[in-house]
C-alpha cells in the first residue's frame, strides 16, 4: 500500500521547508529510516529519512521548492510495486511531445519492404531494459524547492548545466540564492536537460517550474529541442536513406544501434574531461570545470568525488586543497560544507601556531575584494537585519558592563591545558568557564532566563537553562543551543559548544538545535574587542557578551601588608544587554556580580582533574 511522505516538523516556529536535494530517484528502492532527501530551513539543513520501506514511485516537490510543514512531498509504494507503476502517467504524457515516435515511422516505412529487418527489433528492447523508468520518455519538472522558513522565493545565480547536457541523479544542476543561504540544487532525475525556463539572476517563487529534464531514452529528442547542432547529425542520416537505397539493410541496422551509443555518451564525456583535467593540473577543480559531471575518475585515484563551481570558488577563497577534502555528499561528492569545515580546521591550526594574526589576514583579504563593488544584500543578511531591528523595536534594551579578574582561571589553564586536551581532545579556552558561570547564575536569577509576551501581558520563567551560543559562520550569525546546559559540567559544556560550533560551520545542525534557547552568550572578544553591546535574541530577555582577555596593571589590596599594590592581572569585560521591560538595572547588576564572583573565585579544579 502506498505511503505518503510529508514535510515533517523542522523545529520551533518553522512553518515550511525547502527541498534542497533528493537523495533517491523515482524507481529507487528505499529502506525505513534511509535518507530520502535533504531539506533546508532558515535555521538548518537536514536529511529526512524514509518513513517506510518500498519503492519511491512519485516525487511531488521538486528541488529548491518550498512547501509548508505537513505538505505531501512524495509517495512510496510497496516493495512489490515498480517505478513504472508510479510513473506510468508521466511517462505517457512525456511520450506525446517526443519526436522519436515521428522518426520511428520513417525508418518503419523504409523497413517495410525489407524482411531482413525483422530480427533487428530484438536489440531495441535491450536498450529500453536498463532504463525502465526513463525508457518511456518521462519528463521531470524541476521546480524551485522550499529554501527555509518564511522563504517565498529564490534567485537562480548560476546554471551549472546547459540545455542538451546529460545529467545524473543528484548531480548539481544550478545554484540558488535566498536571504538564508546560497545552495546547490541537484538534479531530481537522470536524463537530458531539455529546457531552462528561468534565466540567471532571475527570482521566482517557491514551487515555480524552472527547468525540464527528459529521460535518458529521450536524449535524441531532448537535444533536438534545445541544441539543434547535435541533432543535425542523426537527422541527415534518414535523409541519406534514399541515397543508399541500394543497400537499405545496413542503414536501418545502423540507425537502431544509434540510440545505444547515445546512452553511453555521458561516459565518454567524463573521459575526455578527465584528460583535459589532467592537462589542466587541477585534479578536482578542472574536472568540474571541463566535464560538468564532476567525476574524478582518471585524475584522482583516491576518490570519485566531484566538485561544483560554488565549491571550487569557496576552496579558492579559503585556500583549501580539494584533493585533501573528504566529500560527504552522494557518491563522495565534495560539498560546500566539507570545504567550510576544512577551512575552519585550517584556521584552528593557524590559531594554535599564531593566535592573533591567524584570522585577521583572511578577513582583510575578503574585505579587500569588496572594494569598489556594488551588489545586492544577500537574503540572509536581509533576514538578520530584519531580526535585529525587530529586537530593538520589541525590547527596551539597555547594557551594563563590568570587569572581571580571571587571573586564577588563566593559571588553571596553564596548569591543566595539556592534560585537558589529552583527556578531552579539546583545547581549554576561557569561553567554557564564562558559559558555566553564566548558567549557574541563571539558576539564582530566573528573571534573566525568561520570556515576555506583551500581547498576553504575561512573563514565563523557564525551569531549564538552554544556552544559546553565538557563532560567526560563512553564512552569517547563528545561535545553536546547548539544551539543558545547567546539567553539564565544564568539560560537558566545552564538548557541546565545540560540537555545535563545528557543525554550525559545516551545515550539520539539526532544526531543533537552533531553537528553544532561553539565554544567549556571545564571544565578543574573539575579534579582539574589549566589550560590545549585543542585541537580544528574541524572544529572550538578555544576552551576555564576553570581551577579550588581556593582561594589564591593576590596583590590588595586599592583605598581608594592609596596603595597595599594582600587579599584572588577566582581565576581561562582561557586557549584559537586557530587556528593561522585565529586568531592572539592579537585577542585571546582581546577575553580573554573581558571574563575576564565580569567575574570580576560580574554583574549577574539580572540573579540570586538579583537585
402-434 confidence digits (pLDDT tens): 999 999 999 999 988 888 888 888 889 999 999
Q: How far is CA 476 from CA 21, 392, 473, in A?
A: 22, 19, 5
Residue 373 lies in a domain: no
The predicted-structure confidence for 493-533, as pLDDT tens digits, reads as follows 999 999 999 988 887 887 788 888 999 999 988 888 899 99
CATH at 319: 4.10.320.10
Residue 374 lies in a domain: no
Residues 28 and 123 reside in one and the same domain: yes
Residue with cell 584522482: 300
Residues 45 and 168 reside in one and the same domain: yes
Cα 521–Cα 523–Cα 528 angle in degrees, nearest 5: 160
Which of 235, 262, 289 represents a domain boundary (last residue)? 262
Residues 330 and 353 reside in one and the same domain: yes
- Between CA 596 and CA 143 the distance in angstroms is 54
Residues 401 and 532 reside in one and the same domain: yes
Residue 397 lies in a domain: yes
Q: Does the bond joining 576 to the residue before it have cis omega, within 30 degrees of 0?
A: no
Residue 306 is given by DSSP the state -
Residues 203 and 101 reside in one and the same domain: yes
Residues 286 and 209 reside in one and the same domain: no
Residues 328 and 241 reside in one and the same domain: no
Which of 262, 288, 312 represents a domain boundary (last residue)? 262
The predicted-structure confidence for 323-381, as pLDDT tens digits, reads as follows 788 877 656 777 777 888 888 888 777 655 544 333 344 444 456 677 888 888 776 67
Residue 183 lies in a domain: yes
Taking 50 as the threshold, does the pLDDT of residue 12 lie above it?
A: yes
Q: Are 448 and 442 in contact (CB under 8 A)?
A: yes
Instruction: Give the model's pLDDT for residue 220.
Output: 43
Which of 262, 290, 322 represents a domain boundary (last residue)? 262
Range of the domain at 550: 380-608
Q: What is the mean pLDDT of the chain?
A: 74
571 vs 229 pLDDT, higher one: 571
Residue 475 lies in a domain: yes
Residues 61 and 185 reside in one and the same domain: yes
**Claim: this prediction has a pTM higher than 0.85:** no
Q: Which of 1-15, 110-124, 266-280 has the highest mean pLDDT?
A: 1-15
Residues 339 and 439 reside in one and the same domain: no
Residue 213 lies in a domain: yes
Catalytic residues: 580, 584
Q: Are 288 and 306 in contact (CB under 8 A)?
A: yes
For residues 359, 361, 364 and 366, what is the CA-based torsion angle, rounded to 10 degrees?
Answer: -80
Write phi, then psi, for 608 (nearest 5 degrees): -100, 0
Beta bridge partners of 404: 572
CATH at 498: 3.30.559.10
CB atoms within 10 A of CB 563: 9
The predicted-structure confidence for 538-553, as pLDDT tens digits, reads as follows 889 999 999 999 999 9
Retrieve residue 343's grid coordinates: 577551512
Residue 138 lies in a domain: yes
Instruction: Give the model's pLDDT for residue 558.
Output: 77
Residues 358 and 425 reside in one and the same domain: no
Taking 70 as the threshold, does the pLDDT of residue 247 lie above it?
A: no
Residues 176 and 41 reside in one and the same domain: yes
CB atoms within 10 A of CB 597: 12
Taking 80 as the threshold, does the pLDDT of residue 229 lie above it?
A: no
Q: Are 237 and 258 in contact (CB under 8 A)?
A: yes
Residues 464 and 578 reside in one and the same domain: yes
How many domains are there within the chain?
3
Dihedral angle sign, alpha carbons of residues 351, 549, 518, 497: positive
- Between CA 293 and CA 291 the distance in angstroms is 5
Residue 92 lies in a domain: yes
Instruction: Give the model's pLDDT for residue 504.
Output: 87
Retrieve residue 115's grid coordinates: 524482411
Taking 90 as the threshold, does the pLDDT of residue 175 lie above it?
A: no
Question: What percent of the chain is modeled with pLDDT above 90?
Answer: 27
- Helix runs in 395-444, H state only: 407-424, 431-444
Q: Are 145 and 61 in contact (CB under 8 A)?
A: yes
Amino acid at each position: 500500500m502506498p505511503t505518503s511522505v510529508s514535510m515533517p516538523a523542522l523545529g520551533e516556529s518553522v512553518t515550511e521547508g525547502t527541498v534542497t536535494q533528493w537523495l533517491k530517484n523515482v524507481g529507487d528502492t528505499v529502506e525505513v529510516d534511509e535518507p530520502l532527501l535533504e531539506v533546508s530551513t532558515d535555521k538548518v539543513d537536514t536529511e529526512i529519512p524514509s518513513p517506510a520501506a518500498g519503492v519511491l514511485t512519485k516525487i511531488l516537490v521538486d528541488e529548491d521548492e518550498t512547501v509548508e510543514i505537513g505538505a505531501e512531498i512524495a509517495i512510496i509504494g510497496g516493495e512489490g510495486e515498480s517505478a513504472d507503476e508510479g510513473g506510468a502517467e508521466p511517462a505517457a504524457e512525456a511520450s506525446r511531445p517526443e519526436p522519436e515516435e515521428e522518426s520511428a515511422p520513417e525508418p518503419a516505412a523504409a523497413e517495410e519492404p525489407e524482411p531482413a529487418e525483422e530480427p533487428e527489433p530484438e536489440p531495441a528492447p535491450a536498450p529500453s531494459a536498463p532504463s525502465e523508468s526513463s525508457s518511456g520518455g518521462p519528463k521531470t519538472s524541476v521546480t524551485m524547492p522550499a529554501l527555509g522558513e518564511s522563504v517565498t522565493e529564490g534567485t537562480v545565480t548560476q546554471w551549472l548545466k546547459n540545455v542538451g547536457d546529460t545529467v545524473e541523479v543528484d548531480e548539481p544542476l544550478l545554484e540558488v540564492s535566498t536571504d538564508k543561504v546560497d545552495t546547490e540544487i541537484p538534479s531530481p532525475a537522470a536524463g537530458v536537460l531539455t529546457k531552462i525556463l528561468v534565466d540567471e539572476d532571475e527570482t521566482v517563487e517557491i514551487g515555480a517550474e524552472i527547468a525540464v529534464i527528459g529521460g535518458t531514452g529521450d536524449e535524441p529528442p531532448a537535444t533536438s529541442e534545445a541544441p539543434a547542432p547535435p541533432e543535425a547529425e542523426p537527422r541527415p542520416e534518414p535523409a541519406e536513406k534514399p541515397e543508399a537505397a541500394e543497400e537499405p539493410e545496413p542503414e536501418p541496422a545502423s540507425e537502431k544501434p544509434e540510440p545505444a551509443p547515445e546512452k553511453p555518451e555521458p561516459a565518454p564525456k567524463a573521459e575526455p574531461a578527465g584528460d583535459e583535467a589532467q592537462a589542466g593540473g587541477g585534479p578536482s577543480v578542472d574536472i568540474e570545470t571541463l566535464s560538468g559531471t564532476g567525476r574524478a575518475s582518471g585524475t584522482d585515484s583516491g576518490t570519485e568525488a566531484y566538485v561544483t563551481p560554488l565549491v571550487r570558488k569557496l576552496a579558492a577563497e579559503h585556500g583549501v586543497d580539494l584533493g585533501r577534502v573528504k566529500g560527504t555528499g552522494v557518491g563522495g561528492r565534495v560539498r560546500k560544507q566539507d570545504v567550510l569545515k576544512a577551512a575552519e580546521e585550517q584556521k584552528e591550526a593557524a590559531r594554535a601556531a599564531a593566535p592573533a594574526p591567524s584570522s585577521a589576514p583572511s578577513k582583510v583579504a575578503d574585505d579587500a575584494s569588496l572594494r569598489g563593488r556594488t551588489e545586492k544584500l544577500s537574503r540572509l543578511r536581509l533576514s538578520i537585519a530584519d531580526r535585529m531591528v525587530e529586537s530593538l523595536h520589541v525590547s527596551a534594551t539597555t547594557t551594563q558592563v563590568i570587569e572581571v579578574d580571571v587571573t586564577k582561571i588563566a593559571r588553571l589553564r596553564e596548569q591543566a591545558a595539556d592534560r585537558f586536551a589529552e583527556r578531552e581532545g579539546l583545547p581549554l579556552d576561557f569561553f567554557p568557564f564564562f558559559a558555566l558561570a553564566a548558567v549557574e547564575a541563571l539558576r539564582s536569577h530566573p528573571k534573566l532566563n525568561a520570556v515576555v509576551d506583551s500581547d498576553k501581558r504575561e512573563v514565563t520563567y523557564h525551569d531549564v537553562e538552554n544556552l544559546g551560543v553565538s557563532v560567526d559562520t560563512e553564512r552569517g550569525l547563528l545561535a545553536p543551543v546547548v539544551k539543558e546546559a545547567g546539567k553539564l559540567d565544564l568539560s560537558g559544556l566545552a564538548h557541546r559548544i565545540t560540537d555545535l560550533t563545528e557543525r554550525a560551520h559545516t551545515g550539520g545542525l539539526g532544526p531543533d538545535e537552533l531553537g528553544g534557547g532561553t539565554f544567549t552568550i556571545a564571544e565578543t572578544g574573539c575579534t579582539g574587542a574589549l566589550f560590545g553591546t549585543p542585541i537580544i535574541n528574541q524572544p529572550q530577555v538578555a544576552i551576555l557578551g564576553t570581551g577579550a582577555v588581556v593582561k594589564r596593571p591593576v590596583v590590588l589590596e595586599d592583605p598581608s601588608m594592609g596596603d595597595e599594590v599594582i600587579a599584572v592581572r588577566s582581565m576581561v569585560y562582561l557586557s549584559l544587554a537586557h530587556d528593561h521591560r522585565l529586568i531592572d538595572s539592579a537585577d542585571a547588576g546582581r546577575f553580573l556580580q554573581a558571574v563575576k564572583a564565580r569567575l574570580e573565585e576560580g574554583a574549577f579544579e574539580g572540573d579540570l582533574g586538579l583537585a
